Chains A and B, each alone.
Chain A
């Protein structure tokens, strides 16, 4: 694991960004080649939403990976979080432009009356301040409040997953898997009495590494 960790350290951040746009490039390719089936609108909308979920949940995997597996990917978390936000925005735009056909009065009416849309839009709203403050200057300026603010990612992910499940006519196995995974990842954040879930005492990072992590976090 240490070797993997060391190897991953050499992956530059721009590579993560580049990789993050591969699903978008693929989707655009499928649109251009007319390969999205009979209903490309739904397909684009759903795929963008699903990619956003992957990045949202992916962002939640980073801390448990560090504490339980000893793999430190914290330095890529900002890129992953911002990519998630970008895909959420694209998903929302696909809904408004392609799906709703910019019938904004119905779209807005629906937005505040349809439970699954409320869940989705709430997740988006919660993510806005997080995206805005995902930079060094904000971290310096907000200090301890930055961490408090970014706690919002937890309800946002949960709302996103519920939004995904709620729009299904029948909730399928895949939906339940997403919910269970999200809940498990959220459970790793709970500080159980008598133990500390945030750091693995046996294979945890060294004092020096912890200091580096702390520095990376801020």
Chain B
């Protein structure tokens, strides 16, 4: 809703689209329209990628919890099409040297895009493997000049009930908000995703910009981001406000700490077939080497 009429960065074609267009023209010239390289976003592979086979695009885009578009897993795919993702701007405020409202193209400017094939674990005890394309959040935050007094990052999803039917229904106090401790936000595993399977992020997956924190339950990975605030105090988060006994601020994947109503010891792999699709859940979703140090000395059962 911000700066929608003003001429700004969104009127500049984003580089990936521009590249696609060039590739398309080249493609027509070469009459090789079906070439797989055609619409791919250029993204470097990453050492943090898992070598587990990713879920199919169909699975990733038709099984979403994005309550802004409805309660059912298939609702986002059905309803997210109406979301306007261009123009898109992100407000950066709080304890930063360069606050402001930045257009998406500006946010993405000079961000090195990488493909990160990450395990994804939902608090509902299902799991996928997703080939995200994105950039490290730390690089973005550093651009704004994080002040020493900043301890947390608070992130907000778009509030636009006219395009997000779920926001017209009750149940959740919109907009959706999430947050990370600053060291979590600065961890190299934490990315802002803008793409998936070599394409721009599908709307049901949180286009045009979403957080991905692979060692935490999926609800931490907030979608369709419009605001990033650097703050001194732990910010409120949607699920924690909704049900504090069940969803904590940290929400680290942990098979030893069960959800009060269900076990987190195992998970069902989506696309795993009818038999034996259940697998052991790994602590920190398997990213312990990279992240466990941040929680040294913390009681993870208490800080769930």
For A166, list chain B residues within 8 Å (CB): 261
Is A114's CB under 8 angstroms from B263's CB? yes
Nearest to B275 among chain A residues (CB) is A101
> Cβ of B74 < 8 Å from any Cβ of A?
yes
> Cβ of B63 < 8 Å from any Cβ of A?
yes
For A103, list chain B residues within 8 Å (CB): 266, 278
For A116, list chain B residues within 8 Å (CB): 261-262
Q: How many residues of chain B have a CB within 8 Å of chain A?
A: 27
C-alpha spacing A99/B270, complex, angstroms: 11
Q: Is the interface of B mostly helix, strand, loop or mixed?
A: loop
Q: How many Å from the CB of A93 to the closest CB on chain B? A: 12
Is A114's CB under 8 angstroms from B265's CB? no
C-alpha spacing A37/B278, complex, angstroms: 18
C-alpha spacing A169/B72, complex, angstroms: 11
Q: How many Å from the CB of B276 to the closest CB on chain A? A: 5
Task: Count contacts between A and B, CB distance < 8 Å.
Answer: 62
C-alpha spacing A45/B271, complex, angstroms: 16
> Cβ of B171 < 8 Å from any Cβ of A?
yes
Known: A38-B59, A38-B270, A172-B171. A101 touches B278 (CB 8 A): yes
C-alpha spacing A101/B268, complex, angstroms: 9
Q: How many Å from the CB of B134 to the closest CB on chain A? A: 23
C-alpha spacing A103/B280, complex, angstroms: 11
Q: How many residues of chain A have a CB within 8 Å of chain B?
A: 25
C-alpha spacing A100/B62, complex, angstroms: 23
Is A98's CB under 8 angstroms from B266's CB? no
Is A100's CB under 8 angstroms from B278's CB? yes
Interface centre among B62, B262, B271, B275 (most CB of A within 10 A): B262
Known: A101-B275, A101-B276, A101-B278. A37 touches B262 (CB 8 A): no
> Cβ of A5 < 8 Å from any Cβ of B?
no
What string of 1s and 0s marks CB contacts (under 8 Å) between B53-70 and chain A?
A: 000001100110001000
Partner of B262, one of A41, A97, A114: A114
> Cβ of A40 < 8 Å from any Cβ of B?
yes
Is B268's CB under 8 angstroms from A99's CB? yes
Q: How many Å from the CB of B266 to the closest CB on chain A? A: 6
Known: A38-B270, A39-B63. A98 touches B263 (CB 8 A): no
Partner of B261, one of A99, A106, A167: A167
- A-B contact list, 9 entries, CB within 8 Å: A37-B73, A37-B74, A38-B58, A38-B270, A40-B274, A41-B268, A101-B268, A110-B263, A116-B261
